[in-house]
Amino acid sequence: MIEVDKYVLPDVIPQHELQAWRSKIDKVELENCPPEVKRFIKVLAAKLGDFGRIGQYIEYIPGDDLLLSGMKQVDGKKINPWMHYPTPVPKMVACDHETAMLRIFKRKGKQGLIDWCKVKVDKTELAATLDLLHVEVFKIYRPEFLEMLAQLEAQKKLESDLKL
């Protein structure tokens, strides 16, 4: 597999053009959306970035171009300048995650937003952020946590009954 230095797209794409594109998108207004949901959407959208990967294709790069880029080997073998080497190239598109999440919440409610977020943050460091959506935003607790809370409440009630 060929390893290529990765560029951060905001360094390559002019930011003023990206902002102009975003300003043309119709904004979603939610009357009944809790403020903590809006805050969560804003924070997660900022962490997801400006671009999303929608697939990849294979590009055949000539060996002499790879040598000019500073590569010496492909899959442990010396590069032949006359051969072409398959290189995976991602298909990237600009995304407005905030608007997308607001639309999902408007159409499908909290479960739709949770499902969308699970797909976006799967296998990333943002997966822990999704727990905030459950607990802090929608007040959904894990069953084992609820059971532990119930036991604590029962113990407190028992202690208060014994003191009387």
| Whole-prediction pTM | 0.57
The listed range with the strongest mean pLDDT (14-28, 73-87, 138-152) is: 73-87
Structure confidence at residue 139 (pLDDT) = 65
For the beta carbon of residue 28, count every other beta carbon within 10 angstroms. 16
Structural contact between residues 105 and 33, judged by C-beta atoms closer than 8 angstroms: yes
Cα-Cα end-to-end distance for the chain: 73
pLDDT > 70: percent of the chain: 74
Torsional sign, CA 138, 112, 43, 144: positive
DSSP designation for 148: H
Cα separation, 116 vs 102, in Å, equals 11
Give residue-wise pLDDT tens across range 8-38: 556 667 778 888 888 888 887 777 778 888 8
Q: Is residue 2's pLDDT more than 60?
A: no
| Cβ neighbours, 10 Å, residue 105 | 24
| pLDDT at residue 45 in the model | 84
Per-residue pLDDT averaged across 140-153, rounded?
A: 70
**Closest C-alpha among 74, 55, 54 to residue 64:** 74
Cα–Cα distance measured from residue 137 to residue 79, given in angstroms and rounded to the nearest whole number: 53
Indicate the angle between helix axes 97-121 and 35-48, nearest 10 degrees: 70
Per-residue confidence (pLDDT) for residue 24, from 0 to 100: 85
Across the range 64-86, mean pLDDT stands at 90
65 vs 81: CA distance, rounded Å: 8
Is 60 exceeded by the pLDDT of residue 57?
yes
- For residue 121, the SS3 value is helix
DSSP codes joined into one string, 66-108: HHHTT--EETTEEPPTTSEEEEEEEEEEE--HHHHHHHHHHHH
